[in-house]
Amino acid sequence: MAVFERNFNLSQRMTQELGKAIVCGVYPKDESLPTEAELCEQFGVSRTAVREAVKMLSAKGLISSRPRQGIRILPEQEWNIFDSDLLRWSLEGNPSLHVLREFQQVRIAIEPEAASLAARFADEARIQAIADALEGMRNAESPEDGLAADIAFHVSILFATRNRFYIRLRDFIQTALNVSIRHTNVIKGDQDAIIEDHAKVYNAIRNRNPERAKAAMLLLIDEALTFIEGELAEAGEPVEPLL
């Protein structure tokens, strides 16, 4: 059992380190990765650990491993960006403004309708969870506390939809918000205004007004998207998608 746990932990560590290196562009995307033997030496692990890591990264759509072809990085279109590990690797460090913009675009497709569904179907316990998160934002004693409460607010709305598909998106939303909120809140700067925008969403849900809840959430996310697009324009970055 001890040997199994040790091999599992080594495989997990290598998965994290190699996966992040691939996503961050350490390895050229048009070339094969190092061989098994080279990866063993590079990461200081056994062949078993390397093979398990390769299996896990293959399941995430990052790489393929075939006889006589070696281990190759797959095109980004194949990556399972909804995987929480892969998303975190993409956003850690200095996240691309293009990735942050794409995330806001996805949020616009998801969260306004989630707020509308919450206004229609949330029970009192789930509405209270949203209220508690909003209160946590108001009473936060540190930026980290405020961030945690902000994320809890958005995740609570997903649960309040009582729709299993929206609820299943919680890991994706939570992971990406952890970076996105840090970025956009610094730009906006006015914490009272940020809380007020969230309060509008909550009040519409509490008052069972689906259209107002949808509009309030759309305005909240659209403002963040506008900030990011403004930064892209200032940096002279291309407006069109990269893929």
Q: How far is CA 147 from CA 3, 194, 196, in A?
A: 39, 12, 15
pLDDT tens-digit map of 179-227: 888 877 766 668 899 999 999 999 999 999 999 999 999 999 999 899 8
Closest alpha carbon to 176 in 138, 157, 150: 150
Evaluate if residue 3 carries a pLDDT over 50.
no
Contacts of 153 (CB under 8 A, 6+ apart): 130, 133, 134, 136, 137, 198, 202
Q: What is the pTM of this model?
A: 0.82
Per cent of the chain over pLDDT 70 is: 92
Greater confidence (107 vs 181) lies with: 107
Greater confidence (231 vs 122) lies with: 122
Evaluate if residue 239 carries a pLDDT over 80.
no
Q: What is the full DSSP assignment across 194-233? A: HHHHHHHHHHHHHTT-HHHHHHHHHHHHHHHHHHHHHHHH
Greater confidence (68 vs 128) lies with: 128
pLDDT tens-digit map of 26-84: 888 777 899 888 998 988 888 888 999 999 999 999 999 888 788 999 998 899 988 88
Among the ranges given (1-10, 37-46, 118-127, 154-163), the one the predictor scored with the smallest mean pLDDT = 1-10
pLDDT tens-digit map of 223-235: 989 988 888 888 7
Q: Phi and psi of 242, rounded to 5°?
A: -80, -30
CA atoms of 124 and 141, how far apart (whole Å): 27
Q: How far is CA 181 from CA 3, 60, 61, 88, 137, in A?
A: 41, 25, 27, 14, 13
Evaluate if residue 117 carries a pLDDT over 90.
yes
What 3-state class would DSSP assign to 123? coil
Contacts of 6 (CB under 8 A, 6+ apart): none
And the tokens for 243?
A: 């893929």
CA atoms of 68 and 50, how far apart (whole Å): 17
What 3-state class would DSSP assign to 72? strand
What 3-state class would DSSP assign to 100? helix
Per cent of the chain over pLDDT 90 is: 51
What pLDDT is stored for residue 88 in this prediction? 85
What pLDDT is stored for residue 235 in this prediction? 79
Is residue 232 within 8 Å of 97, Cβ to Cβ?
yes
Greater confidence (35 vs 110) lies with: 110
Secondary structure in 3-state letters for 177-201: HHHHHHHHHHHHCCHHHHHHHHHHH
